Amino acid sequence: MLRLGLFLYDHLGGRGRLPPSRRIDPRADLVGAPLRRDVAAAFVYSDCQADDARLVIANARDAARRGARILRQTELLSAERSGGAWIAELRLREGRTARVEARALVNASGPWAMSVAKRAGGLHGNAALRLVKGSHIAVPRLYGGDHAYILQNDDRRIVFVMPYERDFTLIGTTEEPFDGDPRSVACGEAEATYLCRAVSRWFAEPLSPAAILWRYAGVRPLYEDHAKNASAVTRDYVLLLEGSADRAPLLSILGGKITTFRRLAEHALERLAPYFPGLPPAWTRGSTLPGGEPAGPDDIRSAYPWLDPTAAERLLRCYGSETHAVLGGAKGPADLGEDFGAGLSAREVDWMRREEWAESAEDVLWRRSKLGLRLDGAQKERLAAYLARN
């Protein structure tokens, strides 16, 4: 079955640039070096990796360039139809309220989708979400190479083990029903132990929870299709449209995943097209997000020969072709301003604040980067002080 699945993956998934899958003997292949010696067979296939935080920021910046207004920490209090439009009341970050008018309302609020829909009058029918918590842990690098592992656990779920931020290994994910506030979700001790046990089942060196450097959790808003267990619930998205010729549309997006975000957006606009005559056809297939123009390490090294190679690699991975804009034509380390550690400079922090809506140390260290894994307490305090006085 596994070989058949990989055959379909190779031939039906549109693979063009990635190598095909193959079977290996892990005892005779470097890929198998971290595994137990009694693991006699494995399969290798190629896939792509994305930084979800950077992808979200790139999309927000792209939207802003095209005229969108990005409002952080803004809550929808209520929305009602009036004269073929929506009138929405918002609570802004300062605590004051504001009213805005829109021709359509798109509810793309993830695990909060049902709550947001309720504030706009609710959804018709029996649509529902199943919230599932997924947790990850980060530990010191467990092996060399840029390959990841998919491990079959004893409960038949799979666990990913992958290189992370150069010096770490990321392990996930769990899958547990969740019915709390998504803002308070966290990786519990039982989940952390579960992930360590899954790795220890296959790796030659057992992994102890004591090795965990960082843990985090998120909530997946899966469309409720009444599957018996969370692993079987569809990862696809469902678009629910409510409106008519004289009623402003409400489009609610239930479910979905990051790998299909462009197709989801195009499908959403297809559903809204009758309300917006003259809407142009889909265009995102060939569109490049900010930083997506070709740029390589040689280009950065030649422009900034004084820049630490590790810092240059991280900047290029985070900002791509916009690395030059982030560095702002600096001629040497002194031009970058205060050094907070791990290659994070005042120049980069200022870029995050100016171009990426960063405001707090948590924004900088976790929501725009993962440098929180590298900075110590004193360095984090210096960063917070810098943000407070600037």
Q: 259: domain CATH number?
A: 3.50.50.60
What angle, 0 to 180 degrees and rounded to 10, lies between the N-to-C axes of helices 346-356 and 377-389?
A: 60
Find out whether the peptide bond into 173 is cis, omega within 30 degrees of 0: yes
In a domain, 155, yes or no: no
Q: Are residues 372 and 322 in the same domain?
A: yes
pLDDT for 133-180, tens place per residue? Answer: 999 999 999 999 999 999 999 898 999 999 999 999 999 999 999 999
pLDDT band at 6 (very low <50, low <70, confident <90, very high): low
DSSP symbols for 321-390: GGHHHHHTT--SGGGG--EEETTEEHHHHHHHHHHH---SHHIIIIIS--GGGT--HHHHHHHHHHHHH-
pLDDT band at 363 (very low <50, low <70, confident <90, very high): very high
In a domain, 145, yes or no: no
Q: Are residues 254 and 381 in the same domain?
A: no
| pLDDT recorded at residue 189 | 97
pLDDT band at 301 (very low <50, low <70, confident <90, very high): confident
Residue 95: phi and psi, rounded to 5, are 100, -20
DSSP symbols for 251-317: EEEEE--GGGHHHHHHHHHHHHGGGSTTPPPP-GGG---TT-S---HHHHHHH-TTS-HHHHHHHHH
pLDDT for 194-251, tens place per residue? Answer: 999 999 999 999 999 999 999 999 999 999 877 656 555 566 899 999 988 889 999 9
48 pLDDT exceeds 90? Answer: no
pTM, rounded to two decimals: 0.91
Q: Are residues 252 and 316 in the same domain?
A: no
10 pLDDT exceeds 70? Answer: no
Q: Are residues 245 and 380 in the same domain?
A: no
Full domain range(s) for residue 86: 54-128+233-286
Q: How far is the C-alpha of 340 from the C-alpha of 345, rounded, in Å?
A: 6
DSSP symbols for 197-228: HHHHHHBSS---GGG--EEEEEEEEEE----S
In a domain, 343, yes or no: yes
How confident is the model over 68-87, as a mean pLDDT? 95
Q: How many domains does the chain have?
A: 2
Q: 318: domain CATH number?
A: 1.10.8.870
Average pLDDT, rounded, for the chain: 91
360 pLDDT exceeds 70? Answer: yes
Q: How far is the C-alpha of 143 from the C-alpha of 135, rounded, in Å?
A: 21
Q: Are residues 320 and 355 in the same domain?
A: yes
Q: Are residues 278 and 248 in the same domain?
A: yes
Q: How far is the C-alpha of 9 from the C-alpha of 3, rounded, in Å?
A: 10
Dihedral of the CA atoms 117, 118, 124, 127 (nearest 10)? 70
Q: Are residues 282 and 356 in the same domain?
A: no
